[in-house]
Amino acid sequence: MIGAVVFDLDGVLIQSEEVWDDVRERYTRERGGRYDSEIQRAMMGMSSPEWSSYLHDTAGIPDTPAAINAEVIRRMLAAYEQHLPLIEGAQDAVRRLAGDFALAVASSSNRPLIDAVLRAADLERCFAATVSSEEVAHGKPAPDVYLEAARRLGVEPASCAAVEDSHGGIRSAKAAGMRVIAIPNASYPPDAESLAQADVVLRSLSELTRERVDADV
């Protein structure tokens, strides 16, 4: 029996991967680093300590990881203030499930970004818990962020369904022992091997209903 639903944020509720990509690419190139598709894909799902270190160590940004993280998040918040790229149906899907399940967010985004998005979307009250991967030991695809979300909700991971869009996120939620509902990101789709681990694959948030969350459990 599923008692809780844990949403990823980026790529599930907001179409932010393009924003992250643009912000980090501009910053990396400004600071004389290397940015290409390999760098971009490697960072998907990483926690902020992980990707800021990666940009320093691998992409060649000379600034410290702490400075990299602070500047990227400043630019991300500024971008969201100009335009919040909510995915169509995001607010309806969250509010639809909030009446039947305890809800949480398990995101690779930094805490200020999670809070800013949920506040701007008027969804803060729908979530009983939110977790940033910067608050756990390892980012996705490790299970840490999903395990912590279940802990904060006070439920077993096996009683949770996770809504994910990416290869790292699907693997993370599956490793945590959750039922995985995949809504593949059209811009950055998960690989076939990762997608095969999902219990349910939907085309859009409009299909995310209580029946699809509970089906065949």
Active-site position among 8, 21, 144, 165: 8
Instruction: Count Cα neighbours of 155 within 13 Å in the Cβ-side half-sphere.
Output: 24
Identity of residue 111: R
Q: What is the enclosing helix (H) or strand (E) of 5?
A: strand 4-7
| 8 part of the active site | yes
Active-site position among 10, 21, 144, 165: 10
The phi and psi torsions of 129 (rounded to 5 degrees) equal -155, 145
Give me the torsion for CA of 104, 169, 163, 95, rounded to 10°.
Answer: 40
In this structure, the number of other CB atoms found within 10 A of the CB of residue 122 comes to 10
Handedness of CA 164, 11, 202, 190 (dihedral sign): negative
In this structure, the number of other CB atoms found within 10 A of the CB of residue 77 comes to 14
Catalytic positions are 8, 10
